[in-house]
Structure formats: C-alpha cells, structure tokens
Structure 1
Amino acid sequence: MPARPHLTVWYNTKCPVCNAGIDWQTNRLVQAARAGVIAFRDINLEPEALARFGADVEAVRRRLHGIDAGGRLLVDADCAIAIWRHTPGDAWLATLLGNRLIRPCTRLAYDHFADILYAWNRRKGHW
C-alpha cells in the first residue's frame, strides 16, 4: 500500500479558474506527484472526503482544503502556503507569505479573492 501523501489537496474541477490553477501547479509538481508527496483530488468525485472535518463540497467550492501528513486540515491561504512549500521554486513564497507577521494579510487577500471567485462561479453556473 502506498504511503500517505505529505499533502492531499481537494479542489473544485468544475471551476475553470481552480481547475486551470491546479493543472498548472500539478505540472510544476510532476516529480512530487509521481513520488506521492502531494496529491490533488476532485471534491466532486469524493463529496464525503472531508466530512470528518465538517467540510462538504460547498466548502471546497469556496476555498481550497488540504490534509497534511499529520492529518491536520489546512484551509484557505494555509493550504496554498503548504502547496507552495512543496513546489520547486516557490518555497520562498511560502516563507514570505506564510510568516507570522504577513500571514494575516495573506489570509485576508486569499479570502477576498476566493469570495469573488465563488460568486463568479455561482453566476456562471460552474457546479
């Protein structure tokens, strides 16, 4: 049985922006994905995957959700920061935007962008 990935990320493949972003990220993480370090999963195919955390499909449509190797739930900017930590060339971004002084601003910016994207997806019917 393969080892659990260091990070498993659930996202909404029906959102064209989310899907394109994860495709782009996956291409940058080919070696990590092949090695089983990181996995990207479609919440639409596994709607109950995060039920133990109280997160449903709609929650993932609003925000990225991930589970780290320790079984902890990462949501919003914290999930994005974890992805950057695993992405070659992006660790600096995780360090910069994830430091304790900047992280509140990172979360605020992420939440604002996610709210706009969620509203756009609802208007366009990307469900």
Structure 2
Amino acid sequence: MTNSPELTLFYDGACPLCSHEISYLQRHNTAAKVRFVDLNSPDIRQEFPVVDIKDAQQVLLAIDHNGLMLRGIDATHAAWQGVGKGAWVAPLRWRLSRPLALLGYAFFARHRQRISSLFKPRKERCDCK
C-alpha cells in the first residue's frame, strides 16, 4: 500500500524561477509528503478536473490531503512545511508580517515571467550568438 502525499502542489514548469524553487523543494521532499504537478502536463485536466489551469498559472495552487485548496502564500507555506522547511517561511503566516507577504506575493505572481527573465542567461534573453 502506498501512502498518498499530504499535499499536491501545482506549478508552472515553463517559469524558470518557479521551476528553480520546485527543484529545491523536490530535493528536500525526502518523506514524499508533497506531490509536484506541472501545469503544462498533458493529462492534468483528466487527473485534476477541479483545477482551473488559468487560475493556477496566476497564483500558486495546492490541494491538501483533505481536498482543501490553498492559494498563494498559504500554498507556499504548506509546500515548505511539507518538505520540512516550514520554519523558513513561518513569517508568511505571522499576524504582523502576513499583510506585507500578501502584497509581495501578489506583486511577484503578477510579474513572475518578467522577474524570471532577469535570471535567464543573457543568451536566452536575446538573439545573441
């Protein structure tokens, strides 16, 4: 009998910055508590009909083992908690820092493609040879 993950995290594998964070989370997912699902997977609509792909590409989405959907900061916190690094993101849930975290996340989510492009090697950003 296999244990099902405690959390399923949906991410945009076409986003370099997102993929970098997911890669880090996957390396620390030694207890396999988190399942990572690329939103660009061809069978995602069949396996997860409840997931709105367009919405999930705008804001990080996760589904916990009870079927509860978590979005944005809450999905981020649950993912890091699931891989045993919850203390690193605990301030995201603190009463005084949460409003700033929500604003920061909203900005990041809205501009993640532009932000990601800043971290691509120069050759990938232009037609340089």
TM-score normalised according to structure 1 size: 0.76
Aligned partner letter, 1:12: D
Report the structure number with the largest CA radius of gyration.
2
SS of 2:31's partner is helix
CA–CA distance in 1 between the matches of 2:86 and 2:115?
A: 30
CA distance in 1, matches of 2:91, 2:115: 29
Q: Is the 8 A contact 2:11 2:61 kept in 1?
A: yes
1:7 corresponds to: 7
Contact 1:67 1:74 in 2 (8 A): yes
**Which of 43, 56, 60 does residue 60 from structure 1 map onto?**
56
- Aligned to 2:35, what secondary structure does the other structure show? strand
Q: Write the mapping of 1:29-68 to structure 2, written as runs, cut at 5 A.
A: 29=29, 31-33=30-32, 37-45=33-41, 46-48=43-45, 50-52=48-50, 55-56=52-53, 58-68=54-64
Residues paired across the two proteins, number: 116
Structure 1 runs (4+) greater than 6 angstroms displaced: none
- Name the structure 2 match of 1:87: 83
- AA of the residue aligned to 2:19: N
Contact kept, 8 Å, 1:96 with 1:102, in 2: the verdict is: yes
Question: Which runs of 5 or more residues in structure 2 are unaligned?
Answer: 117-129
Question: What is the root-mean-square deviation in Å for CA atoms of aligned residues?
Answer: 2.4
Aligned residue for 1:4, secondary structure, equals coil
Residue 97 of structure 2 is aligned with which of 102, 113, 121? 102
5+ unaligned residues in a row in structure 1: which ranges? 122-127
